Structure 1
Amino acid sequence: MAFHWAEESAKQKDSYGLALLADCYYLGIGTEANHKKTAELYQLAADQGNAGAMTALGCLYSMGDGVEKNEKAAFDLFIEAAGQDEWRAQEHLSIMYRDGICVKKDEQLAFEWMKKAAKVENYETQSLLGEYYIEGIGTEKNIEEGLRLLNISANQGYYSAQFVLGMYYLEGKYLPQDVNKGLELLEKAAEQNYRGAQEILGYCYLTGEYIGEVNLMKGYAFMQQAEQNGSEYAKNMLKSFRTTMESVFNALETTGKKGGN
């Protein structure tokens, strides 16, 4: 239904219909996924001044997804879209200036763009801006404001904010140490398939680090989730764990045989 409506709208050269049809091709909704077609449709919508399509096309260029990777093209699209107050484009520009991607690194500009993006009170930008305040990226450190923004974002269910706050509680960094609160937040992030949280939880439960006791079943389960998400760290941890357990079982079996004699 969505694909049919978008296709009919796109035939009228409507920029929003073109962008929606691009989304359908990207996600494979009502049709086979075709990222090259996605890029072509976003370009048509962007040519009409659609800021959302500009941002989406910029993301494709930055990843080399459906088009040849071109950070300069991505930057130019983000600049144009950001001029229309498109918060996603402003967020991407912030990250590019923060990390020096395609432009000279400029943390002050990174902060300014992120602050503009956060005006829409989106949980993602609030989380990132919170980290900027805490780390002093392009601004004076303001732990209180950073934690306030992270908490707002985490309470809206954003996995990255939950992960960051969870680590702060676990380590007693910027917040009084509260292992239970830390584990609770990390598990919420892990439930959303956030690999970093799955890795940390797997490590904690397998080794007893921070929590003071080992829970092999939970640790193994979290590491398996992380491994399924492509974590090389989890893959190596599980390999080591299996080798250790095999040695233990072999030793027990040998001891049992000796005792039987």
Structure 2
Amino acid sequence: MARFYDYGLGVEQDAAEAVRWYEKAAAAGSAAAMCDLGVCYERGEGVEQSWEKAAELYRKAADRENAAGQCNLGFLYEIGRGVEQSWTEAVKWYGAAARQGMPRAQCNLGWCYEHGKGVEKNEKRAVHWYAEAAEQGDARGLFCMGVCAKRGIGVERDPAQAVAWYEKAVEAGSVPAMCNLGVCYENGEGVAEDLTRAAELYRMAAEREDAAGQCNLGYLYESGRGVEQNWGEAARWYKAAADQGYSRAQCNLGVCCEFGRGVAKDTAKAAWLYRKAAEQGDPVGACNLGYLYETGVGVAQSWADAVKWYTQAVEAGSARAQYNLAWCYEHGKGVPQDPVRARELYAAAAEQDYEGAREAADRLAGAGGKKGGFLRGLLGGGRKDR
């Protein structure tokens, strides 16, 4: 009865009534009801939300070998809600559920092995558990196997095999796999390049609220690859991803706002978007924001702030930021003049083949050097998978 009310099966959905029946079943010793009642407490459905009560119920179910209860208890230990955070306990309970064949727990345990959380890092063990889930047709397990094959995690790197896994994951409904498979088709990795197919896959992911898919689709509209070039559509999809806090899209939308591409020109909004991206560690956003502070576009001119953001981008390896910060050191803008540091930064940018950097390094700290022009943020904001 509880699940009929919980899911509205043949009766009007009623969370409070579902809780009443779950409580009766739990009192009668049903481990499944204990777990489901724990979910109600975790989500605050039909009862006042309580992480502690959820943990208590999950533990009761877990102690009775209920796989879902074990996995849910593991997750609470992972995030530290209702219990003290403990990766060791998370792994313990994920393992208990995984050994019972639960795909979600198998994937969670695989992730712990992949990243060394609660256990010694072991990529081969990670692949073992991802494969266990994948063999059951689990969408996430199939996706994780694709990622491992693409990046050479626990297995030999094999782009073609990655595509095969992603294809299966897409068939199983994995949204991130739609995006990653799109990247393979766009770049011709493991499959013949097919920009039209890439656009189709990005759109599938984008329409399911996948931020990376939305941003990648926006980039195809910007560049006119696989779709007809359309700045309006590019800005629309960048905004959809930016609204989800996706830093690359925030940066790309910032470029649209700065130059009036597909949206009204708004340099203050561009600066705000670059800042949002930069605060998440995006080097392109940080460098773009630094340039706005240098030129006083969209923000009050400030060499100190320009140097601050260039420095952040340099720490992330941005060649353009290395060049721009080098110029600041060479000319004493926002920092004390330091020809030695300037040469170091020019040389670092030259190592990445940044235009004009080798010449600047070769002339050392000589006066009269021209500063490189502004390179749009989009040039650093191409396609990425997860």
Question: What does residue 231 of structure 1 align with?
Answer: 318
Return closer, same or farther for 1:221/1:67 CA change in 2, 3 Å cut-off. Answer: farther
1:129-181 deviation line (CA, Å, top 9, x unaligned) = 23333433322334434333322222222212211110111123233322111
The aligned amino acid for 1:48 is Q
Structure 1: give runs of 5+ residues left out of the alignment: 250-261
Question: What does residue 258 of structure 2 align with?
Answer: 170
Question: What does residue 108 of structure 1 align with?
Answer: 196
Question: What does residue 143 of structure 2 align with?
Answer: 55
1:219-254 deviation line (CA, Å, top 9, x unaligned) = 1211222222233443444344334335489xxxxx
Identity rate of aligned residues, in percent?
29
The aligned amino acid for 2:206 is A
Runs of 4+ residues deviating >6 angstroms: none
Q: Does residue 84 in structure 1 map to residue 172 in structure 2?
A: yes
Deviation at 1:190, TM superposition (A): 0.8
Return closer, same or farther for 1:77/1:248 CA change in 2, 3 Å cut-off. Answer: closer
| TM-score, scaled relative to structure 2 | 0.59
Q: Distance in 2 between matches of 1:119 and 1:178?
A: 27
1:63-107 deviation line (CA, Å, top 9, x unaligned) = 223332110111110011111121111111111111211222111
Deviation at 1:50, TM superposition (A): 1.6
2:123 aligned residue (35, 40, 49): 35
Return closer, same or farther for 1:211/1:135 CA change in 2, 3 Å cut-off. Answer: same
Q: Distance in 2 between matches of 1:5 and 1:74?
A: 30
Q: Distance in 1 between matches of 2:271 and 2:163?
A: 38
1:200 aligned residue (275, 285, 288): 288
Indicate conservation of the 8 Å contact 2:138/2:172, yes or no.
no
| TM-score, scaled relative to structure 1 | 0.84
Structure 2: give runs of 5+ residues left out of the alignment: 1-88, 340-386
The 3-state SS of whatever aligns with 1:144 is helix
Give the helix-richer structure, 1 or 2: 1
The aligned amino acid for 1:238 is L
The 3-state SS of whatever aligns with 2:163 is helix
Q: Distance in 1 between matches of 2:233 and 2:326?
A: 42
Q: Does residue 14 in structure 1 map to residue 108 in structure 2?
A: no
2:329 aligned residue (242, 246, 253): 242
Higher radius of gyration, 1 or 2: 2
1:181-211 deviation line (CA, Å, top 9, x unaligned) = 11111101111111111122223334x2745
Q: Distance in 2 between matches of 1:133 and 1:230?
A: 28
